[in-house]
Structure 1
Amino acid sequence: MQTIVTHDKLVLPKLGLGTWPMLGEECTQAVLSALELGYRHIDTAAAYENEAAVGLALERSPVPRESVHLTTKVWWDRLQPAAMRASLQRSLEALRTDRVDLFMIHWPGKDWDLPRSIETLVALREEGKARHIGVANFPLPLLRRTVEELGAPLSAIQVEYHVLLGQRRLLDYVRQHGMALIAYSPLARNRIAEVAEIRDIAARHQARPAQIALKWLLDQPAVAAIPKAASVANQRINLDAFKVTLNDRERALIDALPKNQRLVSPDFAPRWDPFDE
């Protein structure tokens, strides 16, 4: 499995398993089968309400816990210091582990005290409850403030990123600072199958559109992807994206697709950077 190594020595497998919105036994079985196939990057969050199911899989799997990169996140309404600490403690208990590999703020808060939240995030890392820390869904100005003004030693940012949504400026910044960008919804919620250019490239490679879209992401420096896949068949399809070799013309064709289809923007989302799309 290819990996990204960040400025602070986070070793992040480029392909992970996204677990939202799987619950219960479906989630447990999905994590177990992914680990058996060779996945070593599992993504969850307190808001997904499936951490206990993920933790059960990690406990049942013969794969050693230290061999698995595990990410979880704190929800945007739990960003006060005491609430953040309580959220992570509940996550650790549910996941049956004493620390996670990456702990992230899931979304920016509303009318929140950003410096205190970041101070708490950093403290949790220093206390050993998280090996590394990061943020999700932060627009570039907020990420820049967090890194440059507050001095947060972030390892990664997780954002929506796929062949139909650009993150050029954010990705440039991430690379400049030795971080990783983790792409969620990397298959554009299955809309890639509707894109003629992706279908044509897939046909030439005798591959699936999902594999083409994933390989476009996985070929990019500092980019990881976490597609959700409940079945063994889909997990294997995603893993086999590494077997695809895109040529320069094909990458340029995908690069040229309109990059303005944001599919995840709840009512509490921040103001997005229009220059990235």
Structure 2
Amino acid sequence: MEIPRLGFGTYQMDEREECVEAVELAMETGYEHVDTAQGYDNEEYVAEGLDASGVDRDEVFVATKLDTDNLASDDVVETAQESAERLGTDSIDLLYVHWPINTYDPEETLPALDELVDDGLVERVGLSNFRPDQMREAIETLDAPVYAHQVEMHPMLPQEELHELAVEEDHQLVAYCPIARGKVADVPEIRQVAEKHDATAAQVSLAWLMDKENVTAIPKAASPDHVEENYESLELELDDEDRETIGSIETRERIVDFDEAPWNQV
């Protein structure tokens, strides 16, 4: 199964009832891709939500991420096995390195990912929050192909260089914070396109991402209205005028940022 263009994010859904109900609703709405992480403390809840929805697990693309304290070789293997158990699966569709910080060491972490692929516990390797130079190093080091790179991406942070690299190296750029935690609604250009299509700003932002080559969006939503609203973005088709309008946005803003982030270490 290839990664769907739209996924369901579960960041900060660490309460069992909220997470189970949200994942169940997302699957019933039509999502076929769910994204979690060891650090979210909800892999077990995601599995419960999938089971509650009654969907065939083979029809859902499930991705998770290694915590930054679990990137030494032995820890990669051991905690990936634990993630698979919590997710109730024999094989993880996509396993990311969440951040190339703390215990990340390309010479230790990446061969361990190759080992997991060789053993069949992991189907695909992903990276997350890497700088372009770190991406190139990882691509050269890994035996397995890099399948996806997950980064913050939205109209105020278009990630041109990483997108070009994704197209060049043929991996998927997976956009988290795809609606900038609601801030896209404050951007006049996005509101203009939304009014033209009788859509919401969130739908325009998601459609703009999915309109791009090799890009997947993974919005988080807990309320039924937002789960369905985001899913309906799949029906929104942008034209050249819309792309030009959104492309003219000059505001640049990064939502997820801290001193130890890779882009602040150059």
TM-score, normalised via structure 1 length: 0.91
Hey, what's the Cα distance between the residues in 2 that align with 1:112 and 1:203? 45
Residue type of the alignment partner of 1:240: E
Residue type of the alignment partner of 2:67: W
Hey, what's the Cα distance between the residues in 2 that align with 1:240 and 1:132? 28
Task: Show structure 1 runs of 5+ residues with no match.
Answer: 1-9
Aligned CA-pair RMSD? 1.6
Per-residue Cα deviation, 1:146-196 (whole angstroms, up to 9, x for no partner): 112455521010000001002111111111111100000000011001111
3-state DSSP of counterpart to 1:124? helix
Q: Does 1:29 align with 2:17?
A: no
Aligned to 2:153: 161
Aligned to 1:41: 33
Aligned to 1:16: 7
User: Which of 249, 253, 258 is the equivalent residue of 2:245?
Assistant: 253
Hey, what's the Cα distance between the residues in 2 that align with 1:140 and 1:132? 20
Q: Tell me how far 1:49 sits from its aligned partner.
A: 0.6
Aligned to 1:74: 66
Hey, what's the Cα distance between the residues in 2 that align with 1:140 and 1:259? 22
In the superposition, relative to structure 1, how do residues 40 and 111 fare at CA in structure 2: closer, same or farther (>3 Å)? Answer: closer
For this pair of structures, how many residues does the alignment match? 265
After TM superposition, list the pairs within 5 Å mapping 1:27-176 onto structure 2.
27-110=19-102, 112-176=104-168
Per-residue Cα deviation, 1:13-63 (whole angstroms, up to 9, x for no partner): 000000011121101110001101110000000000111110111222211
Q: Is the 8 A contact 1:165 1:258 kept in 2?
A: no
Hey, what's the Cα distance between the residues in 1 that align with 2:116 and 2:251? 36
Runs of 4+ in 1 over 4 A off after TM superposition: 149-152
Q: Tell me how far 1:130 sits from its aligned partner.
A: 1.0
Per-residue Cα deviation, 1:71-123 (whole angstroms, up to 9, x for no partner): 00001121101111222122112111111100010000236421110000111
Q: Is the 8 A contact 2:34 2:63 kept in 1?
A: yes
3-state DSSP of counterpart to 1:220? coil
Task: Show structure 2 runs of 5+ residues with no match.
Answer: none
Q: Does 1:243 align with 2:235?
A: yes
Aligned to 1:4: none
3-state DSSP of counterpart to 2:101? coil
Q: Is the 8 A contact 2:72 2:103 kept in 1?
A: no
Aligned to 1:6: none
Per-residue Cα deviation, 1:198-231 (whole angstroms, up to 9, x for no partner): 1121111111111111100011110000000112
In the superposition, relative to structure 1, how do residues 14 and 112 fare at CA in structure 2: closer, same or farther (>3 Å)? Answer: closer
Of all paired residues, the percent bearing the same amino acid is: 38
